[in-house]
Structures are given as C-alpha cells and as structure tokens.
Amino acid sequence: TRSTKLMQTMEQSFRSDLHLTKQLLQILEQEKQHVIDNDSDALMNLAEQKNQLITTIEQNKNSREHLLIQSNIPLNDTAIRDLIKQQDNQTQKKLLPLCDQLEDQVLRCYRLNTINGQLIFASLNNTRSLLNIFFNKAPTNTYGPDGELV
C-alpha cells in the first residue's frame, strides 16, 4: 500500500541520516580538537566534509517533507512522529526508536557545533588581542599595577 511504501522510505531516510549524523559527530569531535590545537589547515579540510554532510542531511529532511506534502500530511514538528503512531505496532516499534535516535544525534551535533563555534570565537578574540599587542595597539582590557582595569 501507499502507507507501507511511505514508511519504508521514511525508514531508509532515517537510517541514512543516522549514518550521516554519526559521521558528522565524528567530524565535529575532530573539529573541536583541531580548534584546541589551533590547526587551521585541518579545520579547512574538515569544513568541506562537514558542509557536504550537512547539505546531504538537509536534502534528506527536505525529501521527507516532500513525501509528507505529497501524502497530504501537514508539516509541523510532530508530523512524522504522528504519522508513525498511526501505523501498525510492528512499524511503530521499528520506526519510533529510529526517530528517537535521529533526534538525539541531531541534538548532539547541534550542541557540539555550538561548543566548537564558541571555541573558534574565543580563539579569534585571543588572536585579535595578540595582533593588537604586536602592532602596538592598546588591548581592550589592560590592568594597572593594582590589578584594576585601566
């Protein structure tokens, strides 16, 4: 039936995205280490891989949404989960855990990417401060002999 085909497609999409988000997590872990190590060449290499994975994940998400629209299912935050819950028990037992795992991995990717962004921002600020000192520009935060901000 059409519903069975839709659920099979959703399962394939979830499994694909689980694999992709696992790869993305690995890249984000590497990225974090390269930021800490200040290895800009390695960061540039990872950036392309990271962008390709994110693009593919986004395409999969768009494909799932397109399938929902074709099936006259309204798009909202719970549309896919609601659709799965309308299926037989076997389908639910197969797809709901995949859906949960995918949500968990996407959240982990988001959190790690946020941490990496904060590390990069801090690194850039440190570099700017060093450059200001090197070029004899007054650093934004200097302290006097009493330890007070001047």
Residue 144 confidence (pLDDT) above 70: no
16 φ/ψ angles, rounded to the nearest 5 degrees = -60, -45
Residue 51 confidence (pLDDT) above 60: yes
Q: Which two tokens stand for residue 24?
A: 């993305």
Instruction: Determine the Cα–Cα distance for residues 47 and 62; give it in Å rounded to an integer.
Output: 22
The string of pLDDT tens digits covering residues 99-127 is: 999 999 999 999 999 999 888 888 777 77
Distances in whole angstroms, Cα of residue 108 to Cα of each of 88, 101, 146: 30, 10, 44
Instruction: Determine the Cα–Cα distance for residues 77 and 128; give it in Å rounded to an integer.
Output: 41
Query: In sequence order, what DSSP letters do the residues of the chain get, joined into one string?
Result: -HHHHHHHHHHHHHHHHHHHHHHHHHHHHHHHHHHHHT-HHHHHHHHHHHHHHHHHHHHHHHHHHHHHHHTT---STTHHHHHHHTS-HHHHHHHHHHHHHHHHHHHHHHHHHHHHHHHHHHHHHHHHHHHHHHTTPPPSS-B-TTS-B-
Predicted TM-score of the model (pTM): 0.78
On whether the CB atoms of residues 87 and 99 are closer than 8 A, the answer is no
149 φ/ψ angles, rounded to the nearest 5 degrees = -65, 125
* Mean of all residue pLDDT scores within the chain: 87
The string of pLDDT tens digits covering residues 10-42 is: 999 999 999 999 999 999 999 999 988 988 899
pLDDT of residue 88: 94
